[in-house]
Amino acid sequence: MVNENKKFTIKEYATMFSVADKTAKRDMKKLIEQEFIIKRGVKKGAFFEVR
């Protein structure tokens, strides 16, 4: 899933796991805090990478 792609956006994550964008953002925040992923970029151009 996410680990296979290495890079993904909030929209892609929300689609993969069938969750709302708001839930995906909350999940991303938790994963960043736990150091599982890294955020690259800002605003609409942002994406996330698996550590």
Q: What is the pLDDT of residues 5-47, one digit of tens each?
A: 688 999 999 999 999 999 999 999 999 999 999 999 988 889 9
Dist CA 35 CA 15 (whole Å): 22
Please determine, for residue 3, whether its predicted confidence score (pLDDT) is greater than 90. Answer: no
Range of the structural domain that residue 22 is part of? 2-50
Dist CA 40 CA 19 (whole Å): 22
Indicate which CATH number applies to the domain containing 21: 1.10.10
Q: How many domains does the chain have?
A: 1
The reported pTM is: 0.79
Dist CA 11 CA 35 (whole Å): 20
pLDDT confidence bin for 2, thresholds 50/70/90 = low
How far CA 22 is from CA of 5, 11, 51, in Å, comes to: 21, 10, 23
